[in-house]
Structure 1
Amino acid sequence: MSTFHDPATAHQPYKDPTPLPAHVPKVQELGTTSAPLKSAAFFIGAYCKEYNEDFMLCKGENRDPAHCLKEGRRVTRCAQDLIAKMRENCLQEFDKHWNCLELNNQGLVKTIPGTPEGKTPIHEVENPIIRGVQK
């Protein structure tokens, strides 16, 4: 069932007016935008691997969103913990990286170290000639 969303308030984030049931424990949101999440994604994947795997296995068992709320809260708490540790230990580097992503439209550019200057990198060659391997 969909709810009416007034176009006059389109600039504000949508908040579902339906509250969660009382038996579902509350968990705080991460409190970050997409750039810090993308910056920390590699570390979140490694640090929260067990929780992510449990969540994905749960989602594979049952597609009902309510079925995996407990596992989802664990993933969220783990990500909160990691982001707090990153801010505590390497705030300058973390801020520098996600601000760079934010200012460059979150684009990542592939570069291969050691590519001779003036030559086109192999991943950008339009029609590379691929020869069979001789035995």
Structure 2
Amino acid sequence: MGKELGNWECSGDDEFACNTLFQGMITKSTPMPSDEELTVPHEITLSTPYFKAVIPYMHRACEKEVKDFMLRRQETEDPRLSLREGRILTACGIKFLQSLKKTCSESVDRYADCIDHRTAKLYITPCREQQRRLDICVEENLNITRPRMGYFSKLHVHNGQFPKYVHHTRDYKAEAAKLLAELPDDYHLRDDSRAYDQQRYNFFDI
């Protein structure tokens, strides 16, 4: 039985490579996502000042999608397995930005412009008045309240809609035993191996 991964299927001897992209070397036959799977209808392309201005509200609007994506990404340790959640999160962000542009475009521009020009390091502290006006606009029009300071630093418990991912640990001992069993009886095995911490006293003996 193969394991479905996106629109392709992992099976046979390379099934391990389907589950552990970054835990070791991969082979030429390791399945990788196609361009279509990596492409979304709209990408989120914001400059840093605008991103800092809107990200607290965007996170609250897409909080479930953010947690689903991060949970899936962290559990699988394989970006290929979280492409679906990533597309859903991107779509949610685009939808929020479109709504924000229709209702609070002027407030966003003023806040982002202040962040961009008041300090060289893009601090938001000197822009509290512009932030307050944007807070009011977003709350009145989108019913989203700006999170209290420290909200994103708290521990959040999230139960995803997908089953917990089970990692497949490679059994190197069994693989070595299988390989040795396939060797002919008269195969020459090295008997001069040493432990990694064994001293080499003779330079020519290394």
Secondary structure of 1:90's aligned partner: helix
1:107 and 2:120 correspond: no
Alignment TM-score, normalising by the size of structure 1: 0.62
Partners of 2:61 and 2:96 within 8 A in 1 = yes
Q: 2:98 aligns with which of 84, 91, 98?
A: 84
Q: Which amino acid aligns with 2:39?
A: K
Q: Give the CA deviation at 1:82.
A: 0.9
Aligned length: 92
**Runs of 5+ consecutive residues of structure 1 not aligned to the other structure:** 1-19, 111-135
Structure 2 Cα separation of the partners of residues 60 and 69 of structure 1: 13
Give the gaps of 5 or more residues in structure 2: 1-32, 127-206
Alpha-carbon distance in structure 1 between the residues aligned to 2:102 and 2:110: 14
CA offset digits 1:7-62 (Å, max 9, x no partner): xxxxxxxxxxxxx6145162121122121111011101100000001001101211
Q: Secondary structure at the match of 2:125?
A: coil
Counterpart residue type for residue 26 of structure 1 = T
In terms of Rg, which structure is larger?
2
Distance in structure 2 (CA, Å) of the matches to 1:64 and 1:109: 37
Q: Following TM superposition, where does structure 1 have runs of at least 4 consecutive aligned residues deviating by more than 6 angstroms?
A: none
Q: Alpha carbons of 1:23 and 1:80: their partners in 2 closer, same or farther (altered >3 Å)?
A: closer
Q: TM-score if structure 2 supplies the norm length?
A: 0.41
- Aligned CA RMSD, in angstroms, stands at 2.0
